[in-house]
Structure 1
Amino acid sequence: MKSLCLLLGLLLSLSACARDLLNPPPPKLPYDRWSIGMLAPNYMEVWVESVDVLDQRGLAYYNVHGGITSIQNPPNNAGDPRGWPERPGSGKIMPITNVDLPEIVFVRWQSLVEPQTYHVRINIPAWVREEMLKPREVFCAWRGADDIKYRDAITLGLAPGGIAKAWLTGGCLEPIEIGRFVGKIHPEGPYNGTSNGKHRPLSPEAKAYVDSHDIPYDSW
């Protein structure tokens, strides 16, 4: 009987551990959520197939973001795709809820102007997570007043050649560069939810630009 009770206790303990792993408690952050944003240089259109996150607890979250990025395609080739903005915005933003701060971000995307499919691993240093937890007093021009803000967003810039740039951003605060990363060509090629193996088409504005200009690979 004693052995049976011990066995039952062990099974209940294992069951509780399994339940905790499947349903981890919410992370303890000073805000309800952090975010991932995505952008691309003018005309250098991107389709993000997946963004996956490994958080600092070691838990993996798949497909937390995807689709088109924030981009500007001025008509008549009036834009310049070279380089990155001096003060990048947050990009196309996606709130990330019930996920602890990121340790690694994995991105798979289609660079439509080449066309090519890339994947990249972006390691998030400890100093980034530390900064994400620090409240900062800043003057917000849109409010005309001081406010307390956090750098609570990771913004990803994706460019041809498999180049990825990451910044730490937050409302009214100056962005901080995390790093530049070089991805690899994905061996499986594009994935659109079908098996046709084709990249998505360019918009007319982007196609007009790449038909008349070289892709400025060295500028990112």
Structure 2
Amino acid sequence: ILRGRGGRYFGAGAACTVFVSTAGTHHEKGWTDLVEAVAQLPAHLRCRVRVILAGEAPMACMTRKVESLGLSHQVVFAGLLDDVRSTLAAGHAAFVLSRRETLSFACREAMAMGLPVLVSDAGGLPENVTDGLDGWVVPCANIAALRARLEQILSQPEQLAEMGEAARSKSRARFSLDTFVAGTLAVYKAALDAEASEPPQAVLTESPSQ
């Protein structure tokens, strides 16, 4: 069992696996799906999970749901953050379980911090991770599938560090600023080259009147 990384939020030395999200606390971000799935885990696994959520204070109905599931002591709301790095550093894995999404900077930030990311298959999220290598992909809003994947993750905690390094490596290779700039310039260059290679258009003029 992994130890210590959640000490800032849950007490030093606590034996647990910490899942962290900086994607926000709105309903469409799907974090309540994770909480529901955790609540359905077998007791010996459920007690080992901790969850950290960064973002605006969630709606009261959401916090009541956490309470009703008996997980209040296992879920921490970190609030709005100017810098997400220290909060991400407290986790063993990240999650972005959105119901709709484009790309998710939160996912890529977590990968850059060396965390494997659990994502839903909504929108562009699956494009960030390779399932089983640097993260996991689950069907959107499918609590049963999410619970099964959590059981798998928690049964092999020793794999998290290795998967986190794979996530960091992918982040450097594919999502870095240098890679983004180089890719953008390549698109512009290809467009300019294509325009330069086109034959000049013939200019038609009318004959002068006889």
Shorter-normalised TM range: under 0.3
Which structure: greater strand fraction?
1
Choose 1 or 2 for highest CA Rg.
2
- Say which structure, 1 or 2, has more relative contact order (CA 8 Å, 6+ apart): 1
Which structure: greater helix fraction?
2
Could you tell me the TM-score, scaled by structure 2's length?
0.22
Could you tell me the TM-score, scaled by structure 1's length?
0.21
